[in-house]
Amino acid sequence: MKNLTTLLIGLALVGFTFSCKSKKPIAPKGEQEIVVHCSGPDFFSNDKFFRANAVGESLDQATAKKKALANAKQQLASSINTTIKAVTDNYVNSREFNNKEEVLERFESLGREVINQELAGVRTICEKTFKTAEGKYKTYIAIEQSGEDLVEAINERLSKNQKLQIDYDYEKFKKEFEKEMKQFSQQQ
């Protein structure tokens, strides 16, 4: 009886061990799941930060990193540019300036200048480098730019432009920017 009880407990433990193993999702036949480092929901833009990620590959480790960073910055600049354009369109339209087209062009031009300046100060939030079977280096990178820092930089530049300063309302501009950032983060 004692041996039977020990055997039953042993079988129960073995069964419990197999049932508690983590169950990996099974990929459809003929497919293999690919892990993309520095990617996914933790690296999406939100209402506080613009974020972008990219991959760079090269026989040289430094070049792989440069490629990844350049691609991520290009993606980040594109996202920021789209948002700034929407903000300036909404801002100028809501202000109903007499010289709307001229003001809009100036805002957009100033926005592009600020974006180019601010991209020099992006922050790397994830970076991983691997060596492939072919002997190449592969770098995954994710970067971010603070929306608040961007608004402050735009405000500083707009405040120094005498023609735009007459028509510029910082609080209204910031409100439009924050609204656009929330919409942008919900699209992700």
Q: Does residue 175 carry a pLDDT above 60?
A: yes
Asked if the structure places residue 10 within a domain, the reply is no
* Type and span of the H or E element at 10: helix 2-20
Number of domains in the chain: 1
Residue 49, H or E segment: strand 49-58
Provide the token pair at 122. Answer: 């992006």
Residue 22 inside a domain? The answer is no
Evaluate the CA torsion angle 69, 70, 73, 75 in order and state its sign.
negative
Q: Is 53 left (phi over 0), alpha (psi -120 to 50) or beta?
A: beta
Percent of the chain with pLDDT over 90: 29
pLDDT of res. 87: 77
What confidence score (pLDDT) does residue 8 get?
A: 47
Q: 152 with 118: CB under 8 angstroms?
A: no
Instruction: For residue 145, give the 3-state DSSP assignment.
Output: strand
Phi-psi region of 135 (alpha: psi -120 to 50; beta: other; left: phi over 0): left
Residue 8 located in a structural domain: no
pLDDT band for 3, please (50, 70, 90 cuts). Answer: low
- Least confident range of 12-21, 28-37, 66-75: 12-21
- Assigned domain for 19 exists: no
Which pLDDT score, from 0 to 100, does residue 66 have?
95
| pLDDT of 156 | 79
**Average pLDDT rounded to a whole number, residues 21-30:** 68
Confidence of residue 154 (pLDDT cuts 50, 70, 90): confident
147-160 vs 170-186: helix crossing angle, rounded to 10: 150
Tell me how far the alpha carbon of residue 81 is from its chain's centroid. 14
Residue 102 lies in a domain: yes
Looking at the domain assignment, is residue 2 inside a domain? no
Look at residue 28 and tell me if it is in a domain.
no
What average pLDDT score do residues 26-41 get? 86
pLDDT at residue 126 in the model: 97
Q: Note the pLDDT of residue 47.
A: 86
User: Mean pLDDT over residues 18-45, rounded?
Assistant: 77
Q: Which residue range forms the structural domain that includes residue 167?
A: 34-183
**Residue at 29 is within a domain:** no
Q: Which residues are registered as beta bridge partners of 142? A: 53, 126
CB atoms within 10 A of CB 56: 20
Residue 8: CB atoms within 10 Å: 10
- Comparing 158 with 41, the larger pLDDT belongs to 41
